[in-house]
Amino acid sequence: MRRVRIGLLGCGVVGGGLVQLIERERQRIAARDSIDLHIARILVRDRARERPGIEPGLLTNEAIEVIDDCDLVVELIGGVHSAGAYVRRALRAGQDVVTANKALLADCGRTLFALARQSGARIGFEASVCGGVPIVRAIERGLAGDSIESLTGIVNGTCNFILTRMEQDGCDFAAALRMAQQRGFAEADPAFDLSGADAMQKMTILSELAFGPLHRFARMHGIADVTTGEIEQARSRRCVVRHVGSAHRVPGGVEVRVERRELPETHPLAAVRDENNAVIVRGRAVGEMTFGGKGAGSLPTAAAVLSDVIELAASDRRPVAERIPSSMNLT
């Protein structure tokens, strides 16, 4: 039995879910994988804030304490600047890192993977796209023997929740947004989701995995201007409105688009409702495969984080070239 000390950067919705999940699943993981997962330190902004189920003595305001006193770092604070500095420090020290930070990967993923390659560290990032849906692992390893031709999916739970509530409840955009905020699927300031920027970051990560570091032609449109009339007109044509991301090869690179689309009721993505996500992967050999499930929420996202933690903690140290996704290599 090997004990693995985890340094947790951030203890918000997903971080709290991860603590809960590790406590609940520790014995099962130990019996199956011979590893004892133990949270050593947790970085928080406010140590005085009450966090049920979390030992106050684990909390600290010093990121260096968390990074230096662990075997594996889990980054869940979000953003690019502070998170990037912490992740780079860990990678330079040769520590494995697990992150759910799509913004960080979309902004400087290639640099981070190059740094990991140099130091012999590994990066797990399953939770950065589609919450609990194992789409990263599927593209990176499950479909490694095929050439991917295109990706099409619903990757933002906030937008999908709003559109399906407008469709099924007949409410207007403002009412559907309030409902999403009340249920925790939308931020107090939802502009990043509604503009399509969140979905674009996720599609950027998936396109890097599927097609490599090619030049990207990006087009983005959100849902802030959707109306009940648009929803009703689509319904009259036996269609639904969904916010869809796509990526496919074009001359000179890869086109990545995020936009509203009117889909026939028979389309696989038309049945994806509320906070659920789904991605259709078309491969040259396998044809179309659909991956779907909970794309948001504390425990689904925490489960994806934990799957990366288990994989990194339980696996042997292989040659670096085998650990870094080939599409992320800069050589």
Those residues whose C-beta lies under 8 Å from the C-beta of residue 141, and which sit 6 or more positions away, are none
On whether the CB atoms of residues 302 and 170 are closer than 8 A, the answer is: no
In the set 102, 122, 165, 202, the catalytic residue is 202
- Residues 6 or more apart from 82 whose CB is under 8 A from it? 63
CB 104 within 8 A of CB 80: yes
8 Å CB contact between 115 and 139: no
Q: Are the C-beta atoms of 194 and 223 separated by less than 8 Å?
A: yes
Give the amino acid at 108: C
Burial 94-121 (b: 16+ CB within 10 A, else e): ebbbbbbbbbbbbbbbeebbbbbbebeb
The runs of H, that is alpha helices, within the chain are: 13-33, 63-68, 81-92, 102-119, 135-137, 157-169, 173-182, 191-194, 197-211, 228-236, 298-314, 320-323
CB 295 within 8 A of CB 157: yes
Do residues 73 and 305 make contact, with C-beta atoms less than 8 angstroms apart? Answer: no
Q: Is 254 helix (H, G, I), strand (E, B) or coil?
A: strand
Residue 294 annotated among the catalytic residues of the structure: no
Residue 196 region, left (φ>0) first, then alpha (ψ -120 to 50), else beta? left
State the catalytic residues.
202
